[in-house]
Chain A
Amino acid sequence: DAGITQSPRYKITETGRQVTLMCHQTWSHSYMFWYRQDLGHGLRLIYYSAAADITDKGEVPDGYVVSRSKTENFPLTLESATRSQTSVYFCASSEPRTDPKNIQYFGAGTRLSVL
């Protein structure tokens, strides 16, 4: 049971480049989330998705694009990377239909450096 996996785990890129972070879960959870974690800010929600083809903005969506064509995948794209997007990115999933607590389960994270 793979659970929720993120790739790559580490990425170095240059300003202006497009970068896509991948997130894949094997539980068929309906909800998926993208967060970034920076010192002093904690986890901040970028985008989330309640089901395939449904996405919504979180607290800090500017500069990011998401899609959810399949339930199990929720890629996050930085269209033109900036240094301020250097961060650790976490993907999470949850399922309110079968879990009354609707607990979020997190991937291992992607550490992104934009030079």
Chain B
Amino acid sequence: GQNIDQPTEMTATEGAIVQINCTYQTSGFNGLFWYQQHAGEAPTFLSYNVLDGLEEKGRFSSFLSRSKGYSYLLLKELQMKDSASYLCAVRDSTSGTYKYIFGTGTRLKVLA
């Protein structure tokens, strides 16, 4: 089967670092995505990993270990505007086409 797990909620302080973990099980892994979603808005793309290792983009980094079925999103120098839900998604190509399975999302609250 296909399954993605991530914590439901996290809280951190402005200026701090937070790590949001994601574990997954899928038969046709073809990439892992992180999306940011502010309340009442559409998800927007943050990062993509298809090979093992760390991808860095400004204050955001994402890590992938395919053998462990594990990824994390690291947010540095937290700002109030980072308060949002962070969605982990796996792309599956088992059927020969691409489809995406999303986790339930992690709601991050950044406190002043």
**Interface residues in chain A, defined as those with a beta carbon under 8 Å from any beta carbon in chain B:** 31, 33, 35, 40-45, 48, 50, 56, 58-59, 90, 94, 96, 101-109
Over the window 90-103 of chain B, the binary record of Cβ atoms lying under 8 Å from chain A Cβ atoms (1 yes, 0 no) is 01000101111111
- Asked if residues B100 and A45 are in contact (CB atoms below 8 Å), the reply is yes
Within 8 Å by CB of B98, from A59, A94, A106, A109, lies: A94
Q: How many residues on the B side are at the interface (Cβ–Cβ under 8 A)?
A: 21
Which residues of chain B are within 8 angstroms of A108 by Cβ–Cβ distance? 41-42
B48 at the A interface (CB under 8 A): yes
- Asked if residues A104 and B100 are in contact (CB atoms below 8 Å), the reply is yes
- Asked if residues A42 and B99 are in contact (CB atoms below 8 Å), the reply is no
How many A-B residue pairs lie within 8 Å, measured between CB atoms? Answer: 55
Bound-state CA distance A33–B45 (Å) is 15
Which residues of chain A are within 8 angstroms of B99 by Cβ–Cβ distance? 33, 45, 48, 56, 58
- Asked if residues A42 and B33 are in contact (CB atoms below 8 Å), the reply is no
Within 8 Å by CB of B42, from A44, A59, A90, A102, lies: A90
Known: A103-B48, A106-B42. A45 touches B101 (CB 8 A): yes
Within 8 Å by CB of A102, from B43, B44, B98, B105, lies: B98
Smallest Cβ distance from B83 to chain A, in angstroms? 18
Known: A58-B99, A96-B98, A101-B48. A90 touches B104 (CB 8 A): no
B87 at the A interface (CB under 8 A): yes
Residue of B nearest to A91 (CB): B42
Smallest Cβ distance from B7 to chain A, in angstroms? 13
Known: A43-B102, A56-B97. A102 touches B45 (CB 8 A): no
Give the interface centre of A45, A58, A102, A105 by most chain B CB atoms within 10 Å: A102
Within 8 Å by CB of A44, from B31, B43, B97, B102, lies: B102
